[in-house]
Structure formats: structure tokens, C-alpha cells
Amino acid sequence: MDVAKTLLERNSALFYFGLANLLFSLFFLLLTQFTTTQVLGVNAWYKPFKFAASIGIYAWTMAWFCAYLPASFNINLFNTAIIVLLGFEIVYIVLQAGRGQLSHFNQSSAIYAGLYSLMALAASLVSLYTAYVGWLFFTQAFPQLPDYYLWAIRWGIVLFVVFSFEGFVMGARLSHTIGGPDGGPGLPLLNWSYKYGDPRIAHFIGMHALQALPLLAYYALKDVRAVTVAAILYGILAVFTLVQALNGRALWNGGAL
């Protein structure tokens, strides 16, 4: 509750946007148990669940970090951009799920292809804006922050941006599976493939460095060198999962690593 109160004080717009997405993610997860609509052999509501949860976590994370930036940073512009761009993404994903249609990689009509391109543009703009925030963390002084925590934020943003653009690996192929068709057996809840290469794993790991590294630094490592080593190892893990995926190899077989 203290964290929620602090988030609300720091950035009410992103707090409520994040909260709405997290609540909707729970609703979408509940829908998977009461609906039979499927897309590529998977319940259609798993994708809205994952995206809403991810957007909610991102919104709260950036609300927390941006409060450290100098007053010259236009937080209202940042908030508006994030809410409009990611709001468009989740609304379109939800609408397509309700219709039992693909949102990503849908080239079945000019309209769907255009909307998918707009989704890619929206995600790219969010990543670029996040990169700008990262540049500020690298170039501005933050005497109020411990060095190890500041470096964790920096490395977290770097890995987030790199692996958010890794999404173009999937976009260029119009598929999130390498070596086989989309769909089929996968890890429970996340639906990552048991049988083929799945770039979504690296996408997920890399982007959530945004949360993992600062939390690890603040609560456990408390040392700049340790944070740097952790960031390197974390990046190696993300790259390893990407290489595995690009070679069409699953990280597990039938659920066993």
C-alpha cells in the first residue's frame, strides 16, 4: 500500500493507467476459464492478459523512475504519449481477441495490415521515448540516488530498449515461432513453444530487465560492480534465449528444461 501511495503521488496519470491495465489483465485471465474462443489453437484471451499485465507493470515502473528526472523533463507529454500509444495497442488486441482474430501478424486485409503496422509504430515510439529517458539517466546527475541503484536503472533501460526492438525479429517473419507453425503446445499461461524456437522468450526476459535489475540492486546487491556483473549476465541470458530461438530450438521439451 505504501508503494501504491507513493506511485499515486509521483505520477497519478500513469498510476491509474497502470492500475486499469493490471485489473483488466486479471479479468482477461478469468475469461480464459469461461470462454472457448481460440486463436491459433490458444484461448484468445491469453494475449490480452499478457499485454495488459506487461503494460501495467511498465506504466508503474516508468512512473517511479521518471519522478527522479529533473523538472525540465516534460512529464505530461511523456504520460500522454505512453497512455495514447499503449492504450491503442491494448484496445486493438482486446477487440481482435473478442472477434477471435489475430492482432499481430494479421495480413488478411489491408485494414488489418495497416492496424498491425500502427501497432508496430506505437511500440517503437514507446521504446524510443524510453530510450530518451535512459539517455537522461546517463547524462544527468542524481545525487539523491545510490550509485548502484542508478546504474541498475541505466542498464535496465538499455536492455529494455534493445530487446523491445528485438520484436522486429518476429515482425519481419510475421510469426513468433521459428522452425514450426505458431500455436501448438507451450508453457502454461505464457504459451512459449515446447517444440520450436520462440523469440518471445528473449523479448520477455530482456524487456523485464527494466524491473529486475533495479529491484535486485536495491534489495540485494547494493554495489556498482555487482550490478554491472548482474546486468552482463542478464543480457547474456537474454541473448542466449534469442540465439536458441533463431536456431529453431526450444529451451525445454515437454516442460522439462
pLDDT tens per residue across span 127-174: 999 999 999 999 999 999 999 999 999 999 999 999 999 999 999 899
**Are 109 and 172 members of one domain?**
no
Cell of 20: 486499469
3/102 same-domain check: yes
Domain that holds residue 40: 1-144
Same domain, 10 and 107: yes
Q: Which of 144, 179, 203 is the last residue of a domain?
A: 144
The pLDDT tens digits for 5-28 are 999 999 999 999 999 999 999 999
Please indicate, yes or no, whether the overall pTM of this predicted structure exceeds 0.75. Answer: yes
Burial track 26-63 (b if 16+ CB lie within 10 A, e otherwise): eebbebbeeeeeebeebbbbbbbbbbbbbbbbbbbbbb
What are the pLDDT digits (tens) for 38-62?
Answer: 998 899 999 999 999 999 999 999 9
State which of 144, 161, 178 marks the end of a domain: 144
Same domain, 178 and 119: no
CA-CA distance, 198 to 202, in Å (whole number)? 8
End-to-end Cα, the chain, rounded Å: 37
Same-domain pairing of 185 and 68: no
Number of Cβ within 10 Å of residue 220's Cβ equals 11
- Kindly state whether residues 167 and 137 are assigned to the same domain: no
Please list, in sequence order, all residues whose beta carbon lies within 8 angstroms of the beta carbon of residue 120, skipping any fewer than 6 positions away: 167, 168, 171
CA dihedral (179, 182, 185, 188) positive or negative: positive
- Phi and psi at residue 188, to the nearest 5°: -55, 140
Instruction: Return the pLDDT at 253.
Output: 63
Does pLDDT of 95 surpass 90?
A: yes
Say if residue 135 is in the same domain as residue 163.
no
Domain boundary among 116, 144, 172: 144
Beta strands in the chain (DSSP E): 38-39, 42-43
CA–CA distance, 146 with 144 (Å, rounded to integer): 7
**Are 59 and 158 contained in the same domain?**
no
Choose the weakest-confidence range: 75-89, 102-116, 172-186, 215-229. 172-186
**Number of folded domains that form the chain:** 2
Residue-averaged pLDDT of the chain: 93
Map residue 123 onto helix, strand or coil: helix
Q: Which pLDDT value is given to residue 158? A: 98
Q: Is 255's pLDDT higher than 50? A: no
Tell me, what's the pLDDT at 227? 97
Q: Please, which pLDDT band fits residue 87 given cuts at 50, 70 and 90? A: very high
